[in-house]
Structure 1
Amino acid sequence: MNAVRFVVILLMLAMLPATGHAKWWIFGQSENEISTRYLYLNGVSYDELGDKVTIYRETLENGQVVLRGKAATSSSAVGSVQVSTTNKESWEKARKTSDGSFEYAFRPETGKSYVLYVKIIDTTGKTNDVDATRKEIVISDQNISTLVRQAMDELIAAYRAEDPARFMALIGEDFAADPTVLDRAIRRDFTLFDNIDLRYTLNNVTAANGKIYVGFTFSRKLTSTRNSQTLTDKGASEFIFSLGEKGPLVSSMKNPLIFGLSDASNVATGTVNTGTNDPVIVVTSNGDIITQPFTDAITTIDNGGVVQTGFDTVESGSFILDNTGSCFQPGFVFASQEVTCTWTGDINLEINLMFIKNGIGVQNLGSGGINSFSQAPAGGYAISDGTGLTAFTVEDNIGNTFAFQMPDGKYALLEVVSYTDLGGGNTRSTYRFAYQTNGTRNFR
C-alpha cells in the first residue's frame, strides 16, 4: 500500500506545470509579511498623519522633506526600498542599510502637490501594501510656526512659574489623556522639582486633519526637592496642537515628556522613537527622581513608574586596598569596579582614613553587613568637598556599611570587612560593594 501511495505522489508531482516546479520549494514564503517597524515624515509619525499633509517651508531643514523608516519582513530579507513622489509615475531608490533602516529626501516646491508612496521589496520579489502608504503633501509658506513657538514658550513659562491655572489654559478640551490627570501630574511635578531649566528647539511643524504636529528637541535641568540632587537630560519629543480661536492648544504629548512626568504613563500618548539611548529623567512610583537610559525609562513609565530592579542591574563584589607596594593612596571606582592609585577613586585610602571624592554623598548605615540593606537612603547624605570632613576611620568601622550617592544620581553600598595595620604606615583592608546601575536606590 505504501508503495502505491509513493507512486501516486510521484505521478502528481510529474503532472505539475514547469512554473509549479520552480516555486513549490518556497511554499510558505508567499505569505511573508512586509511592513515598517517605524516610519516618520519630517520627524512626525507617518501613521498619525492623515491622507493630506501640509508642511510649512520655514520648518524644512535644508529645504528638504525627509522620510525615515525601518523595513521589516517576517522571514526573507529586505531587498530595496523605493519612493514615489509622483503618484507612482516614477520611483526612486531610498538609501538603505543592512538592518532595513532607510532614508529618502527631496526638495519640494511651494504650492505644488506631491503624492507619496513607499514600496518595500523583499528578496523574493514581494512588496508591502504600497497603497496603504499614500500621502498627499502640500508645501505652504504660511508662518504658523511663530504661533507654535509662542504657545511652547508660554507653556514653559507657566511650568517654570509653577502656575497650574496658566498652564492648563493652554491645554485643549480634546486633550487625548484626561486633562485632570495632567493637571494633577504637573502639580505633583511642582512639589518634586525645583530650579526647572527647560529649553527646546523647534525642528518641524506639520499640519494634517486639522491638527498641528510639532517635533522638537529639548534639554532640561532640575533639582530634586527630596535630596537637592541636580539632574539633567535631553531628548526629542512631539506635541500635537489643535488650532482654534484661542490659538494653538495642546491635544496630546508623547514620551519623553517635558511636562507631567509624575504620571507619565497616563499623560503621554505614545513614544517618540529617538534612535538613541540617552538618559531620561523619570519619576518613580514612590516619588524618586532618577535618570535611566531611554529604553529602560520607557519600560519604567509603561510599568506605572515601577522600576524593575534586581541583581541583573546591581554590580557587586569585593576588593582589597593595599598600600604596601607602589600604589600610594589606593582607591576604588564604583562604576568601573576598578582599584586605582594616587587619589583617583570615588573613595581613597590614606593609611587608615577613607576620603570621599568631591561631590559624592556619604552616609554611615551602621552594622549589619551589606546584605542587610535592600535600599539606599533617599536623603541624609553628607556631600564631600574633597577634604577630610566626610572621611571615616576604617579600623573603627569594621562591619559597618556606608551608602554613597554619586553626582550622576547612582547609588552604591560599601561594607568594611577587615583592616590590618602592617606597621610603618602600611595597611591592608578588605571591602564588599554593591553598585546600582539603573539609577534607583534599590538593591534587592
Structure 2
Amino acid sequence: MGNVYDILVERGYIKQLTHQEEIKELLNNEKITFYIGFDPTADSLHIGHFLPLMMMAHMQRAGHRPIALVGGGTVMIGDPSGKTDMRKMLDKETIEKNVACIKNQLSRFIDFDDGKAILANNSDWLSKLNYIEFIRDIGVHFSVNKMLTAECFKQRLEKGLSFLEFNYMLMQGYDFLELNRRYGCIMELGGDDQWSNMLAGADLIRRKEGKPAFAMTCNLLTNSEGKKMGKTEKGALWLDKKKTTPYEFYQYWRNVDDADVEKCLALLTFLPMEEVRRLGSLQGSEINEAKKVLAYEVTKLIHGEEEATRAKEASEALFGSGADMSNVPTASITKDKLNASILDVLVETKILSSKGEGRRLVQQGGLSVNDEKVTDASMIITGENFIDGSMMVKRGKKNYNRIVLE
C-alpha cells in the first residue's frame, strides 16, 4: 500500500488543502480520524457524492478512520453553498427516512465493522443547543465581515440570504469541533463547494481547543468542457437503483466522451493507475473497450457484481456486434437530420408510417430509444442518442430497429 496522500494526488482527487506539508506528513506517518458530512436532502446519494465517498474509501484502505456524518440537524437549516434559492424545509419523518437510506448506501464504500468507521448524526448535538449559550460560545469566534466574503454565500447574497442560512457555517464549524471533542477527529474532507465551511471548522478548533485541525477538498466531477457530470435528461444520476436503474447507470458511463475516460477511471474505480493509463491511451474505436471497463467497474461499486454483469449483458445484447444484431432492420440518417423530434426521425426512416401512429405508441408506453421509454412525443434526437454511431428503437415488446448515423 503506497502513501495515501500520493495516491489521492496521482488519481486527481485533491483540489485545495489547508496545510500541505503537515497533511502529507500526517497521512504518511499516522493513523488519523477524519470526517465527511452528507446532508440527507433526498433518500439517496447521487453521483456528486461519489468523489468524496471514493476519497473516504481510499483513506480507510490506508488505515485512517472515517466518520460519515449525516446532517440530520443541518438539513433543517439548508446549505446555501452554490445555491441561488433557499432549500425546501423537510419534516422530521422525511429526514429520518432519508438518513436510513443514506446509511445503507455508505456501507457499500466504507467498512463500519469493529469500529473501523463511525456513523454519526449531527442532530444528536445540534437539536439540543441552547441559542444564547451557542452564540456566546461559538458565534463570538465568527467574523461577519469574513463570512460575507465566503464563496458559499456569494450567489445567495444576490437574491437575499436569510439569517437561517447564515447560521449554516456556524453549525458546520461546530460539527467539526464536536467530532474533534468526541472522537479526536482532526480533518474534514468534502467537495470543493464546502471550502469556506470547512475552513471555518478548522479555525474554530484551533481557537477553542488550541489544537491543529485540517481540511482538504476534492475536485467536483466535471467533463473535459468543465461541465458537471452526472446529469441526465431525467435529472441526477442516483445511486439508488429505484431512482436510476443499474442499466441506465451503466449506459451513462458507457457513453462518456472519449476525453473523459481516463479521468473517470482514475477517480471512480480502484483500478491500478498503470491500467488506467493503458485504457485511457486507447485510440479510435478501441476506446470503447475502456468505456466498457469503466461502466462495469463503476456499476459494480454501486450495485454489486451481479447487477453490473446484468447491465453489461443487456447493453451488449442491444448494442453488441455479431449475430444478435444482424437480423435487426437498420435504417440510416445523415447528421443534418439531427435535432428533429423522434417522430420526425421515425417517419423519415419509414419505421413508422405516420406521426399519429407514433403518438399512439408513446401514449401506450410502447416506444423506447436505447431501452429508455419515450414519454414525450416531441423528444428531440441529438448526437448523444447515438452510441458508437447507432441508436436502438423498440416498438412494443419485440420490434427492434437500428438507426445508424451517417
Structure index of larger Rg:
1
TM-score norm. by structure 1 comes to: 0.24
Highest RCO, 1 vs 2 (Cα 8 Å, sep ≥ 6): 2
- Which structure's residues are more often strand, by fraction? 1
- Which structure's residues are more often helix, by fraction? 2
TM-score norm. by structure 2 comes to: 0.25
